[in-house]
Amino acid sequence: MRLAVDARPFEERPTGVGRYLEGLLSAWLDQTPSDSFILLSPRKVHVPARLAGRVEAAASPALPGTVWLQTAAARAARRAGADAFFGSLGILPLLSSLPGVATVHDLTPLLFPEWHSPKNRLGFNPFIGATVRRARRIVAVSDATRRDLVAAFPDAAPKTVVVHNGVEPEAPAVLDPAPHGGRPYVLYVGTLEPRKNVARLVAAMESIWDRRPDFPDLVLAGGDGWGMEGFRERVARSRHAARVARVGYLGPGERARWLASARVFAYPSLYEGFGLPPLEAMAQGTPVVGSSASALPEVMGDAGLLPDPASVPDIAAALERAHDDADFRRRAAAEGPRRAQSFTWAAAATRTRTLFEEALS
């Protein structure tokens, strides 16, 4: 089969959906090299190294993303001879005659619009209902996301299938010099945005440092997202400002290096459609503090700690246990990698390809 892909997630510095596409398409082509993918985007497509020479990128007019998807994308897909359209960001071109399959990662623009910019809301909320009606099949990346989708759009139920993301443990980059100057640290990796709950994470760490000055520092890795105005200033004014480090975006080898060396990985998110960073930390054997919200218990199981993300004391207690409890740390080092191994891109690719076969039948 020949599939047109909404390739806007393939940015120079890809985040969650870009890494989802990379893992999925790579595994798919490993299994079925006779299939082909045409990457479509109104901006430059940064093809990941392991997909270079294995996928095609077709020209598209430089338009705002939503306008492009609902006008030019369908024409570009037809010109490229595609059999179907893959809506990697959850939305399909509604006027296209091609069969469509969409992956819904989460419903936060609809359920929590205050967490998103007007641009994000306008690109998702007016089109998700029509996408549900038009899609032949829908991929939900977790049971939690499927429940949310079906609750909002009951007609999604018969066509929506859960296909978990995969994880591939990456070899850490050379550990010399050691991350954070060799000092112990609690690590967060991800875009800084309201739903990631980083402000409460900082507050939890501050409450620990007040009592335990020798507790590890906090390292925040990732770029600034929408809705975090004043966060930098709030950290700068903190009584423990010197204990919070920002290291920016981490590429694959660097991300693995920081994950493997962290004393604790912290991800007390308020909502996750899946939660790839905690799974990547678990794959490295690093103790993880997640949260009890949405898909994180489904992904982490009992290999990590799941505090109430709305409670700073709960987050602080979990961080201290992850640091102090030797039995938990031994269990996390053993169970984290084992659980991560149960989430594979090969399985995701096999199941997703089956859904496209069904959509084309």
For 314, other C-beta atoms within 10 Å of its C-beta total 20
* 219 DSSP β-pair partners: 187, 245
- The pLDDT tens digits of the residues spanning 313-324 come to 999 999 999 999
* 101 DSSP β-pair partners: 86, 137
Q: Map out the domains of the chain as residue ranges.
A: 2-166+344-360, 179-340
Pairing of strands 2-6, 84-87: parallel
What confidence score (pLDDT) does residue 173 get? 65
Average pLDDT, stretch 335-344? 96
- Alpha helix ranges (H) inside 198-275: 198-211, 231-236, 252-261
Give the separation between CA 327 and CA 350, rounded to whole angstroms.
37
Q: Are 208 and 176 in contact (CB under 8 A)?
A: no
Average pLDDT, stretch 51-58? 96
Q: What is each CA distance from 255 to 68, 179, 277, 320, 331, in whole angstroms?
A: 33, 10, 10, 23, 23
Both tokens assigned to 12: 């120079």
pLDDT averaged over every residue in the chain = 95
Q: What fold, for 2-166+344-360?
A: Rossmann fold (3.40.50)
SS3 state of residue 286? coil
Class of domain 179-340: alpha beta
- The pLDDT tens digits of the residues spanning 258-300 come to 999 999 999 999 999 999 999 999 999 999 999 999 999 999 9
SS3 state of residue 241? helix
**Prediction pTM value:** 0.95
- The pLDDT tens digits of the residues spanning 73-115 come to 999 999 999 999 999 999 999 999 999 999 999 999 999 999 9
Residue with tokens 């270079």: 52
Q: Is a pLDDT exceeding 80 seen at residue 65?
A: yes
Q: Do domains 2-166+344-360 and 179-340 have the same CATH topology?
A: yes
Q: What is each CA distance from 170 to 30, 122, 279, in whole angstroms?
A: 18, 36, 12
**Start-to-end C-alpha separation, the chain:** 12
What confidence score (pLDDT) does residue 174 get? 66
Residue 142: closest CA among 102, 192, 103: 103
What confidence score (pLDDT) does residue 176 get? 62
Residue with tokens 């082509």: 29
What confidence score (pLDDT) does residue 177 get? 76
- The pLDDT tens digits of the residues spanning 22-42 come to 999 999 999 999 999 999 999
SS3 state of residue 38? strand
* Helix, strand counts (H, E) of the chain: 14, 12
Higher per-residue confidence, 172 vs 306: 306
- For 5: left if phi > 0, alpha if psi spans -120 to 50, otherwise beta; the answer is beta
- The pLDDT tens digits of the residues spanning 151-203 come to 999 999 999 999 999 998 777 766 567 899 999 999 999 999 999 999 999 99
Give the separation between CA 24 and CA 44, rounded to whole angstroms.
20
Helix axes 312-324, 326-340, angle to 10 degrees: 100
Listing DSSP states for 78-115 in one string gives HHTT-SEEEETTS---TT--S-EEEEE---HHHH-GGG
- The pLDDT tens digits of the residues spanning 113-160 come to 999 999 999 999 999 999 999 999 999 999 999 999 999 999 999 999
What confidence score (pLDDT) does residue 251 get? 86
Listing DSSP states for 173-212 in one string gives PP-SSPGGGG--EEEEES-B-GGG-HHHHHHHHHHHHHH-
